[in-house]
Amino acid sequence: MAEQLRPADVAVQLNRFYDVATKAIFRHDGTLDKLVGDQVMAFFGAPIQRENHARRAVETALEIVREVMETESETSLRVGAGISTGEAFVGNVGGTDVTDYTVLGDTVNVAARLQGEAAPGEILLAQETYREVETEFADAPRRELALKGKADSVLARVIVGNPAKRIS
């Protein structure tokens, strides 16, 4: 996209995406971690624990992908998502002058790697996340992936950001 558009037009596209994503994250009680280039990182279940945090993450991803796909044009962002559920460090990291409230751990790395593997419109779920929404996506295709930094392949389930699909 940056090759095809002026930098100011790229900023307009990114700002629209950030707006869609952050509103969806907050609507589902997620915590916005960071905006990095054309990516948004969020987590669910901290700092306030909520029930069904995996479902909230999946619903958020569906909402973001659905809304972005509905307005897709030749020069717009093509969005995919990766979601992983598990144990993570949640808290401040950094030095004496600068700290960042964030999440760290293998679960976070898996989610980031899944996002990198997701095609436009796809949401890749780690197995533990999939178990939480399996009844709504019983036939979700399996994809075995060799992810950077992982000794063993990771089994993911693929759901598509269908505009009509919502989970209960």
Looking at domain 7-160, its CATH class is: alpha beta
Rounded to two decimals, what is the model's pTM? 0.90
* DSSP-derived secondary structure letter, 146: -
* pLDDT of 156 higher than 50: yes
pLDDT of amino acid 129: 97
C-alpha span between 12 and 60 (Å, rounded)? 22
* pLDDT of 1 higher than 80: no
pLDDT of amino acid 73: 62
Residue 86: what are its φ and ψ, rounded to 5°? 165, -170
Domains of the chain, by residue range, sit at 7-160
pLDDT of amino acid 13: 87
pLDDT of amino acid 154: 93
pLDDT tens digit sequence for 108-147? 999 999 999 999 999 999 999 999 999 999 999 999 999 9
pLDDT of amino acid 70: 80
Is there a contact between 125 and 58 (Cβ–Cβ < 8 Å)?
Answer: yes
Q: How confident is the model at residue 163 (pLDDT cuts 50, 70, 90)?
A: very low
pLDDT of amino acid 24: 97
Is there a contact between 30 and 44 (Cβ–Cβ < 8 Å)?
Answer: yes
- Which SS3 state, helix, strand or coil, does residue 16 take? helix
pLDDT tens digit sequence for 14-72? 999 999 999 999 999 999 999 998 899 999 999 988 889 999 999 999 999 998 888 76
pLDDT of amino acid 31: 97
Handedness of CA 94, 113, 72, 162 (dihedral sign): negative
- The amino acid occupying position 92 is N
